[in-house]
Structure 1
Amino acid sequence: MRIELRDGVLHTDGAPGLLATADYPYYRDDPTVWRDRLRTLRDETGIRVVTSYFPWRHHQPDADSPPDFTGATRPDRDLVGYLRICAELGLSVIAKPGPFIHAETNYGGLPDWICPAVNPEVEATLDAEGNPVLWSGSVRGPDGRVERRPLPAPLGAHFAVRVGDWMRAVDKEVLSAATTPDGPVVLVQIANEGLFTDGALPLWAYDYSAPGLAFFRGKLAEYYGSLDAYNEVHGTGHGDWAEVEPPRERRVAESVQEQLARADWGRYHSDLLTEAYHTWTAALAPGVPVLVNLNPPAEHPHSFDGWLARVRPERWDGIHYGFTNWMGVVSTDHTSHARYVVAAKRAPGPNLEENWGFSELYDRAYAAGATSFHQSLLALAAGATGINVYTGVATSGWGDDLDVMHAPPYPDCPPIDAQGNPTDKAGTVRMLADFFEAHGAEFLAATPAAGSSWGLYAPYAAVAAWAPDDDDSGAGCGRPLRDFHERIRAEGGDYRIVDLESATAETLAGHPDLVLHGGPFMHERVQRLLAGHLAAGHSVRLGGEVPRLDELLRPCTVLAEALAAGPVPAPARVLTPTVVSGHADAYWRSVSPDTGYLTVLVQSDNEGPVTVSVPLGGEQVATVTVVSAKGGAALVRIVGGELDDFLVTGLNSYLDSAVTPVVGLGEESVRADGASDLARVKGELRTLRH
């Protein structure tokens, strides 16, 4: 079996498919129930790919002893046996060896002995003020709270050696015999949500440690070529690279040179991720594709800019993009919706953690499967290539050495409970899994009805990330993107994101209407690319300042001249679905003029049916009616202008919403015989009552 990731899509022996997965934290359960829980997960949800973290602290609690992957020291460490069970049950596995995993484990899954507070050879990650960056440890203090401990600097020498040892041990003792085609492991995920669940933190949050700054200055030397060249551009007189200081203070930039220094620091954050990902992957040397998952931007005004400056998948060279959830209920929270959509649109890749089980820890809305169903469909509509159930199974068999913070079960309301029984959510997941087993490849190949594209110029994000919340002067990216998102959503449209620094004229031609926010400088190559886009008859709509300098602050007016040469062509009209009645979002992906997929995302305050007008080929218009629970959703396949398979939720226990679901198109209308979820997959009608 040959496994590949192409443009974020999983291909098995050349055939594309939508990646549907569920997480099982084997390390939190009694090994005697592993087989039963995995079998139940497979049979009740239809999921055939399991994701599992490999906690470093669990398998190697003692620095002077080798990791235990066979259960020699404790049965629940028998990772080799766990993977054997997966293979025997016909389940594929995404292996997630960290080194940092979060997963609500003590110290993020890192062993205590790698903590700088315990081992003086390990350097700590530092913030802009020189303070160690802290994470929850493994011991409760006198006040009952879990103590917070410093995190290792990711590029620190001793930490790098020990991480390399861990990864090589995982490869030699686990993955070498467990990867496809001889074993169940088909993909590997490195790290979690950045490096230390820090992908969404501000640019001043890390890493100002000595090894971090040495790497930063080394990258400056590569980028500028010489210290003299750096001094000339930045207006400085440094006699040694060690004298170059990164930005540390959040304020309005006083000069274009200060803006450029912020762009340098943003590029460093991208380089830091890239370096860690490649170093850890090289030590692991897996024989299958490697991906990562990034948490979406945080809720703060500056977070979009910091996130966009740091998250640069185009620079990862063979490491593939994925993302997580954990930022709020999108059917209720407007801010969460924007953050989630941007994460899904940033690059092609799967959602690798969607909350299907944590209501007590995060939000009571997740007690209802409709909440997670809605979010999974939104991710796919926005561009995700896969969905995940985190976690698929509740567990209750861990000790304080692994997690001192949380009481069983973990989580509290997943598809399979702690006794191994399927819950109502299992049937909801089964609807999704079966639908995309039948139609996933076609769905992913379909073309979104997107009009405009946001032109991402990451140096502007790095500059704007440092601006105070009330300052919109100078270069911009994240906050204008947020405004653009809201405008497109209000118009009922859709959009894409394209990275301008890595784009070519050919790729940019697929984005005929580009929107971006300017600043004082821009790479000459990017200016010429945009000028050529205009010359080819496409649209470039630039807000804010028109750049008149290149990346080295030399005069460059290529884009300014192109914009001044004549009126910007009006963007071509893209036919998008229109919500005629009801409070909902609608997304259309077309396979052919009269065939495609309509996603209807019903908001939590909706009352009554939702009616959507979908433009098909020529003058043909499909009018689709959906009756769904509040906060629910529907996915409708239209073939030849006729209603085909569909999914719709009629129940949302959290909102006390129970309706008789309906899906109608033209003269055909399918109605359940009572309050339930309703599906038609391969022509077979299914009703799910909770």
Structure 2
Amino acid sequence: MVIEVRDGVAVVDGVPRVLVTADYPYYRDDPEVWADRLRAVRDELGIEVVTCYLPWRHHQPDPGAAPDFTGATHPSRDVLGFLALCRELGLGVVAKPGPFIHAEVNYGGLPDWVCPEHDPSFEPLLDARGEPARWADGSGGPAKVLPSPLGPAFLDRAGQWLSAVGKEVLTGEHPVLALQIANEGVYTSGALPLTAYDYSPSGLAFFRDRLRAWYGDLDACNRAHGAAWRDWSQVEPPRGGPGAPRALADWGRCHAEYLAEVYRVWTQAVGSALPVLVNLNPPTVAELDDWLARVRPELWGEISYGFTNWMGVVSADPHAHARYVIAAKRAPGPNLEENWGFSRLYDPAYADAATSFHQSLLALAAGATGVNVYTGVATSGWSPDLDAAHAGPYPDCPPIGPDGTPTGKAPVVRALAGFFARHGAEFLECAPATEHAFGLYLPYAGIGALAGPDGPGCGRPLLAFHERMRAAGHDYALLDLERASAADLAAFASVTVPGGPFMHARVQRLLAAYAAAGGRVVLDGLAPQADEHGEPCALLAPAPPPDLGPGPVLYGDADAYLRSHPERDVHYLTVLVRTGNRGPVGVRTPYGEAELIAADGGAAVLRLTGGALGDLVVKGVNGYLGSAVAARVTLNGESVVTAGPGDLVMIGGV
């Protein structure tokens, strides 16, 4: 099995696939049960690829010793043996060596000896106040100071760790198909404010280096910033609150390039030709601008976008829904962590598979190219040095239980995996029904993140647009206006754009040409009067928002997403039932009205072809909400229904 990642899509042995994977934290389990648990993932869940972190602190607890990948110092460190079992069982692997992994591991998986409080040669990561950033892992001890990623000492030791993984783990015949670098930003920090980091000496040096690259010389930088710096060492980044728009926008741009640089350096250290992904955590509502400013996948080169979900139950929480959809739409890539196992740690709704199934389908409908069952297996038996905060089993309610037998979630995962194993390539070929788009103008994100509501921003208009589109029942697309082409815009009837005092001349010309060709440019805010250099440029005339018309949902409280094949009479309909809906849901399809009966908070994915129902998966039971119905889909008088309360699965016509 060989994986390439093309435009965010996993191409397996030359065939594009919706990549459905399951995580197994081998380091938390007794090696004697590894083979049994991996076999259960393969046979009970229908999963062909597992994911696993490689905790640095677990494999190299002593700074003076080489990392242990063979189990010489402890059996659970035998990652080479674990990978050999995966290969024997025909399982591919996505390996995740960090160096920071979170994963409820002490100090996020970093060894204690890289902590600046332990060894002052490691530079601390500093916030805008000059305070060190800390990681509280719930182990009962004080939160530990985090090292600056670009500090020389940490850069060297992290590089050595990643190089060791590349040279000692990714050699010979191994089943590793791809790598994931870092975790949710750098230190689960992708959604933090722009004032949270990095004001350390190495971070400031990087900022000043970027300014040199952008402006060429100090005089040009002074003119743009209205400053009188005599030396680059005098240049300081903004530290929150109002400020010159150019300075705020530049700090946001620096965050984007900082994240790209850390990803690049760590990937280079591994020294592998395998495809590399990252897993961004979705934004918070308050820090949406900070996230948009920092997360620029277009800057990452060959490193591919991916994301996670740990922000709430999307069927019940509109804000969680918005954050999740925005993360899925930001760029094509897989959902690399969907909560399928943690109810005690996050929300009791995850005790039932309906919650995770709903969110997995939402991710795919909104633009994800894969989904990960995190985690697939309950584990136990790790040492306090690895995780002192949590008792086993970890997690508490996954598809494979503590004794290695399938739980009630297993058939749901198997149905999800089976449906997309059969139809994933076709699903990806189908185009979403998106008539309208939101255009991201990301310089405003840096300004909005630091200046707040007093200045232009990108997050507030985007969130308002999302809510307006969801209320009307319509899907939408996201565009990066600084990267978009005329053909990109021409695919949409309208593009909503955040307004503000300036906008790149190229972007204004692009939007003006789109409007002249019949497109509708909707400005949320003031029409720009200047270009990126402050020169007069006012090419945009705002248009009123379009009449969206009725959405696909005819009755019932649900969201619906339609994808249609550009060449064949094939469509995929995803219906996501919101928490609180207790009756049938009516949906408009290319073949007429369909009626769906699913559980409260449940969901369905349907393949439609030739005017009729094809394969489908419908969740009819949500034990957490006390909802159990005979799942049913009706289209043009044809019904597929369960004999009694239960889920409805039809794959391959069976």
- TM-score bin, normalised by smaller chain: over 0.9
Residue 413 of structure 1 corresponds to which residue in structure 2? Answer: 397
Residue 301 of structure 2 corresponds to which residue in structure 1? Answer: 317
Question: CA contact under 8 A between 1:54 and 1:95: conserved in structure 2?
Answer: yes
Tell me how far apart the structure 1 counterparts of residues 181 and 550 of structure 2 sit (CA, whole Å). 38
Alignment pair present for 1:246 and 2:237: yes
Alignment pair present for 1:675 and 2:645: yes
Question: Judging changes above 3 Å, is the alpha-carbon distance between structure 1 residues 273 and 500 closer, same or farther for their aligned structure 2 residues?
Answer: same
Give deviations 1:21-73, integer Å, cap 9, x for gaps.
Answer: 00000000000100000001110000111000000000000000000001111
Residue 577 of structure 2 corresponds to which residue in structure 1? Answer: 602
Give deviations 1:576-613, integer Å, cap 9, x for gaps.
Answer: 85212211111111125852011110011001111111
**3-state secondary structure, aligned to 1:350:** strand
Once the two structures are TM-superposed, the CA of residue 478 in structure 1 deviates from its matched residue by: 0.4
Tell me how far apart the structure 2 counterparts of residues 611 and 522 of structure 1 sit (CA, whole Å). 43
Once the two structures are TM-superposed, the CA of residue 574 in structure 1 deviates from its matched residue by: 8.4
**3-state secondary structure, aligned to 2:614:** strand
Residue 553 of structure 2 corresponds to which residue in structure 1? Answer: 579
Question: Judging changes above 3 Å, is the alpha-carbon distance between structure 1 residues 89 and 574 closer, same or farther for their aligned structure 2 residues?
Answer: farther
Once the two structures are TM-superposed, the CA of residue 7 in structure 1 deviates from its matched residue by: 1.3
Question: CA contact under 8 A between 1:296 and 1:343: conserved in structure 2?
Answer: yes
Tell me how far apart the structure 1 counterparts of residues 239 and 505 of structure 2 sit (CA, whole Å). 28
**3-state secondary structure, aligned to 1:352:** strand
Question: CA contact under 8 A between 2:472 and 2:550: conserved in structure 1?
Answer: no
- The equivalences for 1:60-139 within 5 A come to 60-136=60-136
Once the two structures are TM-superposed, the CA of residue 344 in structure 1 deviates from its matched residue by: 0.3
Question: CA contact under 8 A between 1:202 and 1:465: conserved in structure 2?
Answer: yes
**3-state secondary structure, aligned to 1:146:** coil
Question: Judging changes above 3 Å, is the alpha-carbon distance between structure 1 residues 574 and 483 closer, same or farther for their aligned structure 2 residues?
Answer: closer
Tell me how far apart the structure 2 counterparts of residues 570 and 206 of structure 1 sit (CA, whole Å). 38
Residue 531 of structure 2 corresponds to which residue in structure 1? Answer: 550
Question: CA contact under 8 A between 2:56 and 2:109: conserved in structure 1?
Answer: yes
Which of 447, 458, 469 is the matching residue for 1:477? 458
Once the two structures are TM-superposed, the CA of residue 15 in structure 1 deviates from its matched residue by: 1.2
Amino acid at match of 1:452: H
TM-score after normalising by structure 2: 0.97
Tell me how far apart the structure 2 counterparts of residues 512 and 279 of structure 1 sit (CA, whole Å). 41
Give deviations 1:482-520, integer Å, cap 9, x for gaps.
Answer: 000010011110101011112223333334421111111
Question: CA contact under 8 A between 1:625 and 1:665: conserved in structure 2?
Answer: yes
Tell me how far apart the structure 2 counterparts of residues 229 and 533 of structure 1 sit (CA, whole Å). 33
Tell me how far apart the structure 1 counterparts of residues 488 and 121 of structure 2 sit (CA, whole Å). 47
Residue 688 of structure 1 corresponds to which residue in structure 2? Answer: none
Residue 274 of structure 1 corresponds to which residue in structure 2? Answer: 260
- The equivalences for 1:464-543 within 5 A come to 464-468=448-452, 471=453, 473-543=454-524
Once the two structures are TM-superposed, the CA of residue 466 in structure 1 deviates from its matched residue by: 1.9
Residue 625 of structure 2 corresponds to which residue in structure 1? Answer: 655
Matched pairs, number: 653
Sequence identity (%): 59
Give deviations 1:301-342, integer Å, cap 9, x for gaps.
Answer: xx1111100000011111100000000000111110000000
Alignment pair present for 1:643 and 2:613: yes
TM-score after normalising by structure 1: 0.92
Question: CA contact under 8 A between 1:449 and 1:575: conserved in structure 2?
Answer: no
Amino acid at match of 2:458: C
Which of 164, 185, 202 is the matching residue for 1:194? 185
Tell me how far apart the structure 2 counterparts of residues 577 and 535 of structure 1 sit (CA, whole Å). 27
Residue 200 of structure 2 corresponds to which residue in structure 1? Answer: 209
Question: CA contact under 8 A between 2:522 and 2:544: conserved in structure 1?
Answer: no
Residue 275 of structure 2 corresponds to which residue in structure 1? Answer: 289
Residue 687 of structure 1 corresponds to which residue in structure 2? Answer: none
Which of 563, 570, 578 is the matching residue for 1:589? 563
Amino acid at match of 1:603: R
Once the two structures are TM-superposed, the CA of residue 14 in structure 1 deviates from its matched residue by: 2.3
Question: CA contact under 8 A between 1:576 and 1:588: conserved in structure 2?
Answer: no
Alignment pair present for 1:394 and 2:378: yes
Residue 263 of structure 1 corresponds to which residue in structure 2? Answer: 249
Tell me how far apart the structure 2 counterparts of residues 78 and 372 of structure 1 sit (CA, whole Å). 31
Once the two structures are TM-superposed, the CA of residue 346 in structure 1 deviates from its matched residue by: 0.3
Question: Judging changes above 3 Å, is the alpha-carbon distance between structure 1 residues 4 and 63 closer, same or farther for their aligned structure 2 residues?
Answer: same
Which of 352, 360, 363 is the matching residue for 2:344? 360
Question: CA contact under 8 A between 1:259 and 1:463: conserved in structure 2?
Answer: yes
Question: CA contact under 8 A between 2:137 and 2:389: conserved in structure 1?
Answer: no
Question: Judging changes above 3 Å, is the alpha-carbon distance between structure 1 residues 601 and 570 closer, same or farther for their aligned structure 2 residues?
Answer: closer
- The equivalences for 1:2-17 within 5 A come to 2-17=2-17
Question: CA contact under 8 A between 1:167 and 1:284: conserved in structure 2?
Answer: yes
Tell me how far apart the structure 1 counterparts of residues 625 and 86 of structure 2 sit (CA, whole Å). 37
Question: CA contact under 8 A between 1:449 and 1:574: conserved in structure 2?
Answer: no
Question: CA contact under 8 A between 1:117 and 1:150: conserved in structure 2?
Answer: yes
Alignment pair present for 1:331 and 2:305: no
Question: CA contact under 8 A between 1:538 and 1:569: conserved in structure 2?
Answer: no
Tell me how far apart the structure 1 counterparts of residues 403 and 14 of structure 2 sit (CA, whole Å). 39
Once the two structures are TM-superposed, the CA of residue 537 in structure 1 deviates from its matched residue by: 3.0
Give deviations 1:506-547, integer Å, cap 9, x for gaps.
Answer: 333334421111111112222222223223332222221111
Which of 223, 228, 253 is the matching residue for 1:232? 223
Q: Which moved more, 1:283-292 or 1:109-118?
A: 283-292
Amino acid at match of 1:309: A
Amino acid at match of 2:17: G
Amino acid at match of 1:541: V
Once the two structures are TM-superposed, the CA of residue 440 in structure 1 deviates from its matched residue by: 0.6
Question: Judging changes above 3 Å, is the alpha-carbon distance between structure 1 residues 574 and 21 closer, same or farther for their aligned structure 2 residues?
Answer: farther
Tell me how far apart the structure 2 counterparts of residues 109 and 611 of structure 1 sit (CA, whole Å). 48
Q: Which moved more, 1:337-346 or 1:442-451?
A: 442-451
Residue 42 of structure 1 corresponds to which residue in structure 2? Answer: 42
Question: Judging changes above 3 Å, is the alpha-carbon distance between structure 1 residues 2 and 45 closer, same or farther for their aligned structure 2 residues?
Answer: closer
Question: CA contact under 8 A between 1:450 and 1:576: conserved in structure 2?
Answer: no
Once the two structures are TM-superposed, the CA of residue 137 in structure 1 deviates from its matched residue by: 5.5
Q: Which runs of 5+ in 1 are unaligned?
A: 685-690
Tell me how far apart the structure 2 counterparts of residues 575 and 159 of structure 1 sit (CA, whole Å). 55
Amino acid at match of 1:217: R
Once the two structures are TM-superposed, the CA of residue 678 in structure 1 deviates from its matched residue by: 1.0
Tell me how far apart the structure 1 counterparts of residues 73 and 395 of structure 2 sit (CA, whole Å). 27
Question: Judging changes above 3 Å, is the alpha-carbon distance between structure 1 residues 588 and 89 closer, same or farther for their aligned structure 2 residues?
Answer: same
Q: How well do the aligned residues superpose, as a CA RMSD in angstroms?
A: 1.6
Tell me how far apart the structure 1 counterparts of residues 558 and 362 of structure 2 sit (CA, whole Å). 12
Amino acid at match of 2:583: G
Question: CA contact under 8 A between 1:492 and 1:585: conserved in structure 2?
Answer: yes
